[in-house]
Structure 1
Amino acid sequence: MTFPEPHYVNTNGIRMAVYEQGPKNGVPVVMCHGFPEIAYSWRHQLPAIAGAGFRAIAPDMRGYGYTGGPKGKDAVPLYDVAHLTDDLAGLLDALGLDKAIFAGHDWGGIVVWQMALRHPDRVAGVIGVNTPFMPRGPIDPIAGMRMAFGEDMYIVFFQNFGVAENIFEKDVARTMRFWYRKSPMKLADFDKLPADQKNFSFLKSFETDESTWIGERLLTAEELDYYTRAFETSGFEGGINWYRNFTRNWEMSEGQAQKVDAPSLMISAADDIVLRPEMTIGMEQYVPDLEKHIIPDCGHWTQSEKPQELNALMVDWLKRRFG
């Protein structure tokens, strides 16, 4: 099945590109992507969930693809988690929907868990893909990452406005080839590496010759072309701005109750070195109605690496809890 063309809705000051499949009267499932992703990242899940009778909805999120977003250094605060969750509430309003099940991968996972805290009346259920619920920490997360990993750690490096996006935009197709690679090693093997090889300084690898990049290429030529066109349209500034709001989001969450009341499904990938499966240990304290699974032999890009396994887990849970 070909990926649908977008339709557009106005929400929270942006014009959001929305891709849909499935019956309009089906229970809505909104799938939220991360970095550097777009709605197309759910291309294998949309038809599976639609085929199970649900209304499958995937937007290009704020700053990405054919949604795009505000530009310039002054616009950075417009990418905080309040804006990102308000975008989704406005999406439901525009579609005439009271509630939806929200699924999120990578940064999209952070947003859907926060959706359950900030707009609980709009959330029927939550599916975290790789990204667990992470309660508010005791210190500014950027300060913590800087102390643990140093200035070259990619999230710390992303704090420098205009730098990473300029690097990535020089050759968008090359950038997509860099990010979209299968995990080259098991998590246990990663853990055996020397500390200086575990500081997530991905940008140093990016600047090396492409022939030295590790991990098998994940995208077909057609898929690569789709991603490339989308990021040539939006650029990378908006997406990287999400990372520039870690501190702001942490500050805004002071005093916020850390409890998700909606039924929730957590699907981890066994070999995701950034969003490790053990990060879900203890989630039940904050997400009481929780079911957890781990997909073996899978790295970070779960929707593309193990689409059948992910689809089966999502559809099974959706049918049991909302069918």
Structure 2
Amino acid sequence: MNFPEPHYVDTNGLKMAVYEQGPKNGVPVVMCHGFPEIAYSWRHQIPAIAKAGFRAIAPDQRGYGNTGGPKGKESIPLYDIAHLTDDLAGMLDALELDKAVFAGHDWGGIVVWQMALRHPDRVAGVIGVNTPFMPRGPIDPVEGMRAVFGEDMYIVYFQQFGAAESVFDKDVARSMRFWYRKSAMKLADFDKLPAEEKNFSFIKSFAADESEWPGEQLLNAEEIDYYTRAFQKSGFEGGINWYRNFTRNWKDSESLVEKVNAPSLMISAADDIVLRPEMTEGMEQYVPDLEKQVIPDCGHWTQSEKPEELNTLMVDWLKRRFG
């Protein structure tokens, strides 16, 4: 695949790797990846959005790929949501752009919805891919997940500095093969499983023999190699640090007005067991100008699992709202 080479911009103490295609005078569409991903996760969307006349922009975000970021336990607070959104605002400054449409998947979805709250003057529109707008809950989210799912739930486990990254860094290619798999079951079948099989204890699954991992391999050898080289360079620590800021972000967001005033598109995946389509119910209360779509027969890795369907929905909405 002819994926663009990065150029680098200075933003918020980082040299951020930015990948671009499309006309410089096109409406900018910034695509934000999740965990464990990089700008390359948008490799199918970037050319489609560029071909439609938009300026497609995808950064390797803080802690990831060719951007990288600070290391060490003391650097955890440097991965909070304020830093992640400030990074993107600074990237727009460096590119001399007033505002952009922001699209985000997984953790990138959290970031782009927060961009609309924290930097509303820089956000022309929002596209959530799998990740809905999630209003601030009444309790610390990590404590809530611990109470419901226990210590083995991956986000709870990730709170231990050095633990998960040492597991994934040990054999990066194996880690990539573990994460990038098609959904092994429909959401309805997952819901029928006993509770002890629904606690998202991915580390236990990772420890099993590779032949026992559920779901088909999603990526080809070239794609696995690209991801492997990126995570061999950056390691997993920075990306996992995003999770270590759930509590800090929750405390920090107490005074935020939870209203997204930009036009927004929410694209769910019918069989994403973590970011379930029903999580979008009631979003209109916080995101008044909202369209919702669901891609059938699709698990978590929407950009790779159903690239054509996702491209069609994104481009159609972009043309209608910003063409």
TM-score (norm: length of structure 1): 1.00
> What does residue 196 of structure 2 align with?
196
* DSSP-derived class of the 1:224 partner: helix
1:250 paired residue number: 250
- Partner residue of 1:15? 15
Q: Distance in 1 between matches of 2:189 and 2:61?
A: 34
Which whole-Å deviations, capped at 9, do the CAs of 1:73-125 have from their partners, x for residues lacking one?
00000000000000000000000000000000000000000000000000000
Pair 1:172 & 2:172 matched: yes
Aligned to 1:223: 223
- Render the CA deviation track for 1:269-306: whole Å, top value 9, x for unaligned: 00000000000000000000000000000000000000
**Residue-by-residue CA offset, 1:20-74 (whole Å, 9 max, x unaligned):** 0000000000000000000000000000000000000000000000000000000
Measured in 2, the distance between the counterparts of 1:86 and 1:158 equals 24
Calculate the aligned-residue CA RMSD, in Å: 0.4
Partner of 1:17, secondary structure, is strand
Distance 1:277 1:2 in 2: 32
- Indicate the percent of aligned positions where both proteins have the same amino acid: 84
Q: Is residue 2:291 matched to residue 1:279?
A: no
- What residue in structure 2 maps to residue 55 of structure 1? 55
Task: Give the 5 Å matches for 1:1-323.
Answer: 2-323=2-323
Deviations 1:119-173 (A, max 9, x none): 0000000000000000000000000000000000000000000010000000000
3-state SS of 1:294 partner: strand
Residue identity opposite 1:156 in structure 2: V
Which residue type is aligned with residue 137 of structure 1? G
- Give distance in 1, aligned partners of 2:231 and 2:207: 19
- Whichever residue aligns with residue 43 of structure 1, its letter is R
Structure 2 counterpart of 1:133, one-letter code: F
Distance 2:118 2:153 in 1: 29
Q: Compute the displacement of 1:255 (Å).
A: 1.7
Q: Distance in 2 between matches of 1:70 and 1:15?
A: 11
SS in 1 for 2:288: coil
How many angstroms apart in 2 are the aligned matches of 1:263 and 1:118?
16
Amino acid paired to 1:25: N
CA distance, structure 1, for counterparts of residue 169 and residue 119 of structure 2: 35
**Structure 2 residue matching 1:19: 3-state secondary structure:** strand
Q: Distance in 2 between matches of 1:171 and 1:295?
A: 33
- Partner-residue secondary structure (3-state), 1:293: strand
Determine the C-alpha separation between the residues in 1 that align with 2:48 and 2:76.
Answer: 36
How far apart, in 1, do the equivalents of 2:211 and 2:288 lie?
47
What amino acid does structure 2 have at the position aligned with 1:125? G
Distance (whole Å) between structure 1 residues aligned to residue 27 and residue 236 of structure 2 = 33
Name the aligned partner's letter for residue 102 of structure 1. F
Partners of 1:205 and 1:267 lie apart in 2 by: 28
Shift of 1:231: 0.1
Deviations 1:159-198 (A, max 9, x none): 0000100000000000000000000000000000000000
User: What is the number of equivalent residue pairs in this alignment?
Assistant: 323
Cα distance in 1 between the residues matched to 2:255 and 2:232 = 40
Q: TM-score, normalised by structure 2?
A: 1.00
Q: Write the distance in 2 (CA, Å) between the matches of 1:142 and 1:184.
A: 27
